[in-house]
Structure formats: structure tokens, C-alpha cells
Amino acid sequence: MEHDQMKLERQQTPFHELHDILDHALSKSSDKRVGLLTSITGGEIATLLLSPKDGTAELMVTAVENNKYSSFSTHHAQFHWFERALFDFFGIVPEGHPRFKHLLLHDQYAQDFFPLRKIDLPTDFRNALPRRYEFLEVKGEGVYELPVGPIHAGVIEPGHFRFSCFGETIVNLEIRLGWVHRGVEKRLTEVPWQKAHFVAEAAASDTALANAFAHAIAIESILDLEITERAQYLRTIALEIERLAVHIIDVGGIGTDIGLLGISSAMGRLRGKALALADLISGSRFLRGFIFPGGVRPVSERKLSEIKAGVIALKKDLTPVIQMLSDNQMATERMKDIGKLSKSLAAEFGMVGIIGKACGIDCDTRRQFKQGKYPELAPEPSIEIGGDILARTAVRVGEIWSSLKTIETLVDNCPHGEEKVTVPEMLPANATGLGIVEATRGELIHLIFTDEDGKICRYAIKDPSFDNWTAISIAIRDNLIADFPLCNKSMALSYSGNDL
């Protein structure tokens, strides 16, 4: 069955109704979930409600009075970071938020600086929240704090982890991010929309392709633009190549943190082979500039057959290495029952991607929302129930195999034809566009609003990591501090995609 392009209308929803809708949608019996919560100008809240079952979405726009509303986080834990970001960027106060403080903008910014706010603050607005960040303090005899970051020991993005420990055991972990906040969402409204895909790619470059993909879907849904069948295939192939490259290095990273350096160096080398596939399809190891609204860059038949040969060779190369990791008793013992997250908490916090799948939640958006050749050709989901490091690694390994298989199928069936269609010069006025893509880490959302002149006035990105960072804090509680690096690696979340 062909899924139609998703059309999104802005529905005006008063507050009391929104509360009821959310209560209902997020109840255990419901099959809906919240994609994101943000604002457009600072005068309203925009809530994106997803129906994964039928692949549709609703956008509810609720006017905010006196720049404040009563927080949803008290009832629905998933909102706790959304609401903090809402204050960071728009100055809207979620009253009663259980841990109300800045999320991404640090002390360097002026007290009343709200970069995405378009309307004036109310004259009687008093911003009582200090920029200075206070960590949650765990009290008790023998409890000590261990600060880590923002600069980490390895070659990795910056973030601050504040551990409160009792002996070797982590009692609480508070994660403070925002160090690489570059103002991506604002920049996306400043550049000409035809060039915006380059900025979208830079949101998180290990997810460059998925970001360009979600951007293109969102723009095309605004324009009501149908792209060619060949472009749909090529986009989907590229998406799987990106997933393959990241999963390979992340599984290799598990090897590093366990101490199996032979496995990690083999995986590092094999990631190079996945990147060579990216080079073949796009001329770029990170698939940059490949997808844009209207289509993709041209790909020759010769390159496609080289990609297929590369995939077959890579499957052969990966098999013994992954086998050695899964057969290794020491590796299994290091991963089993460590960093465990329960399914109910994962659902309550709206976890997506690898983390959700490792807790038994079928949250693979490739099977739910139109993106390239999905859901028609979507692979079987890779689902585990353990919720621990072992389960997350198994999900990744499962996705490595399914991506390899999917690329082969897609290459075999990829039709001839044009790679791009002509794109209109202007975007329609007051339109809303939505793109959902299953990035390597999970559900990636791009939501675009245009103003009365057809200019992009608000561009919201929800990286899967934004949903998932809290998972580390929950999963590592009561675990040994020495297990943190491995647990962190098993989640492999994005800092830049979260900080934007």
C-alpha cells in the first residue's frame, strides 16, 4: 500500500483540551506518542502528536496566556527536557516543573536572552531563573560528587556528567549538555531555504544524511512535491549506508571499552569499508550534499553495482568479527544486566531508537512513517527485551545485518530514471512541513513553519538523543562507576544533535 505524503494542519487547541488529549494519548492503552513540544513565536505551544500505527501526525497549537502554563512534566515525564528547552529558547515558563532550570543555554548568555522568541515579553515578566546552574545535590554521609567534562578524555563531543556516588556505586547522575549549542535552529530560518539542507546536515554529522533526508521530506511535504522513484530508492540506500557505518563503529566501541582492542581495531577498519560505500553513492564519506529537496545527486549504474559488491564483501568481513564478540564469555558478562532500563520507564520517558528497541518497544519509524521506500520495504525490526548493554548491542548487530540485506534488495530493485525534479522557487505561506526519519539512533523529526511571506519562520529539530539522554541517568543508577563508560557507549548518543 502506498502511503501518501503526510500533510500537517495546525489545529488550534485550547489548554484544557490539550491537557486531556495528552493524558489520553500518553496513557498505557494508547498507541500514540509525542514527537515534540515547542513553540513557534513564543506566544503558543506547538505539540506534535504521532500515530505510529497509521503513520499520521497531528499538530496542536495552543495559545499561551501571560507567558506561562502549568507544566506537563508533572504528569508526563517525557516533557521534562522539552519544557526546559522551551524556556531556554522562548522564555515560556512551565509552572510547577519539578526540575526547572536552563537546559542548553549557559551562563554566558544574558538573563533575558531567548533566541527564538519572536514576540515581545510581557511587560510584567520577571525572569526568576538564574543562568547559574545548580546540580541536584545528593546528601548523606559518605556520598561524594564526581564531576566529568565538558572536555572528555577521549576524542568525543563535550558534555558534563555529575555523578553522586556512594563508594563505587552511582547514586545519581545528572547530565548537563548545551556546550556545543551553535544556534542551528535559528540559522535554519536565516539562510535561503534552498541552502538550508547544508545547515540541517551540520546538526549532527554522523547523522548528516538522516538530517538532510528529514529536511527534504519536510520541505517536499510543504511544496506537495512528488520526487522520482529512483530518488526514493537512492535516499533509502544512503540512509542504510549511514546506519551501517555508525553501528559498525559503535559495536567496535563496545570492544574498546571492554578491552577487546583487536575487535575494535577490526571494526574501525571495516567502518572504512562502509564509508567507501558512502563515497561511491555520494562522493562524500559522510554523505554530505547527497540529498536535497527535489531529489538526490546522480548515481551511475556502475556505482550501484559496486555498492552491491561492497555490501556482499562487507557482510563476509563482518561475520567473523561480530561472531568473536558475541562468543566471548567475558564480553557477555560485562554487558549482561548492566545499565538496565525497564520497558515501563523507557515508555514513560518516550525513549526511541536503539534504547527503546532494546527494551522491547517496537519504535522503528521505518515501519511506521513514510520515508523513502519505507514503510513498504522496511526490514523486520531488531527488538530485544533485556534493556541492558547486551540488548542494546544485540539491537545494533541485528540492524547491521538488516541494513546490509536491505541495501542489497534496494540496489536490485532500484529503477532507472531521473534523480531529481524541478523545485518551485517559493514556499507556500503559513504552511507546516514534517519529516520523520529513522536515523541511526532513532526517531529524527524536522518540523518547519513558514510565515505569511512563505519564509521559514521556525525550524524545529528533534534528534533522537534529546529523548534518550535521560535513559543513561536512569540506567546507570545503582551501577558501578566503572561500568559507566561501557553503558554510555552502548547508548552512543549525540551531543551536537541534542545541543543544536
Partner 1 sequence: MLKLITYLLQQGVATAKNICPDLAEGVIGLPMLTDAPCQSGCTACVEVCPTDAISVFNIDDANHVRLDLGACIGCGYCVDVCPTGTIKNNPTTRVAVRTREELILTTAGAAAEAANKELVTQGRTAAAKIPTADSLSKASWFGRSVAARVVSTGCSACDMELGAAGNPIFDMERFGVHIVASPRFADALIVTGPVSKGMQEALVSCYGAMSSPRVVIALGTCAISGGVHKGGYAEANGVDNILPVNVYIPGCPPHPWSIIHGILLAMGKEHLALAKKK
Find the shortest distance in angstroms from Cβ 175 to partner 1: 14
* Region from 13-21, 60-68, 152-160, 376-384 binding partner 1, contact rule CB under 8 A: 152-160
Judged by beta carbon, residue 382 or residue 498, the one nearer partner 1 is 498
Q: In angstroms, rounded to a whole number, what is the distance separating the alpha carbons of residues 70 and 329? A: 51
Alpha carbon distance, N-terminus to C-terminus of the chain: 36
Among 15, 100, 109, 133, binds partner 1 (CB under 8 A): 109
Find the shortest distance in angstroms from Cβ 188 to partner 1: 10
- β-partners of residue 432 are 449
Binding mask 436-465 for partner 1 (x = CB under 8 A): ------------------------------
Provide CB contacts within 8 A for 195, sequence distance 6+.
none
Q: In angstroms, rounded to a whole number, what is the distance separating the alpha carbons of residues 268 and 424? A: 43
Ranges of beta strands (E only) in 156-265 are 160-166, 169-176
SS (H, E, C) 378-410: CCCCCCCCCCCHHHHHHHHHHHHHHHHHHHHHH
Q: In angstroms, rounded to a whole number, what is the distance separating the alpha carbons of residues 353 and 369? A: 14
Among 121, 129, 171, 191, binds partner 1 (CB under 8 A): 191
Among 45, 260, 277, 437, binds partner 1 (CB under 8 A): 260
Find the shortest distance in angstroms from Cβ 167 to partner 1: 24
Among 133, 135, 198, 401, binds partner 1 (CB under 8 A): 198
**H or E element in which residue 44 lies:** strand 44-51
Judged by beta carbon, residue 322 or residue 341, the one nearer partner 1 is 322
* Region from 179-187, 344-352, 366-374, 402-410 binding partner 1, contact rule CB under 8 A: 179-187
Q: Find the angle CA(125)-CA(130)-CA(136) to the nearest 5 degrees.
A: 130
State yes or no: residue 320 binds partner 1 (CB under 8 A).
yes
Judged by beta carbon, residue 204 or residue 445, the one nearer partner 1 is 204
Q: How many residues does the chain have?
A: 500
Judged by beta carbon, residue 72 or residue 495, the one nearer partner 1 is 495
State yes or no: residue 268 binds partner 1 (CB under 8 A).
yes
Q: In angstroms, rounded to a whole number, what is the distance separating the alpha carbons of residues 402 and 396? A: 10
State yes or no: residue 315 binds partner 1 (CB under 8 A).
no
One-letter amino acid for residue 474 of the chain: I
State yes or no: residue 174 binds partner 1 (CB under 8 A).
no
Among 43, 289, 375, 454, binds partner 1 (CB under 8 A): 289
Helix (H, G, I), strand (E, B) or coil at 291: strand
User: At which residue does the C-alpha cell 564531576 appear?
Assistant: 147
> Which among 155, 313, 171, 184 has a CA at the least distance from the CA of 249?
155
Ranges of beta strands (E only) in 111-222 are 143-148, 160-166, 169-176
**H or E element in which residue 330 lies:** helix 329-335
Helix (H, G, I), strand (E, B) or coil at 163: strand
Tell me which residues in 119-148 interact with partner 1 (CB under 8 A): none
Judged by beta carbon, residue 26 or residue 246, the one nearer partner 1 is 246
* Region from 11-19, 259-267, 370-378, 478-486 binding partner 1, contact rule CB under 8 A: 259-267
Judged by beta carbon, residue 33 or residue 176, the one nearer partner 1 is 176
State yes or no: residue 410 binds partner 1 (CB under 8 A).
no
**H or E element in which residue 445 lies:** strand 442-450
- Prior bond of 379 cis (ω within 30°): no
* Region from 25-33, 205-213, 225-233, 443-451 binding partner 1, contact rule CB under 8 A: 205-213
Among 59, 184, 397, 491, binds partner 1 (CB under 8 A): 184
What the block records as the C-alpha cell of 284 is 562524500
State yes or no: residue 285 binds partner 1 (CB under 8 A).
yes
State yes or no: residue 482 binds partner 1 (CB under 8 A).
no
Binding-site size for partner 1 (CB under 8 A) equals 61
List residues near partner 1 by CB under 8 A: 106, 108-109, 113, 115, 150-151, 153-158, 178-184, 186-187, 190-191, 195, 198-199, 202-206, 208, 249, 260, 262-263, 265-266, 268-269, 271-272, 275, 279-280, 283-286, 288-289, 303, 320-321, 324, 327, 494-496, 499
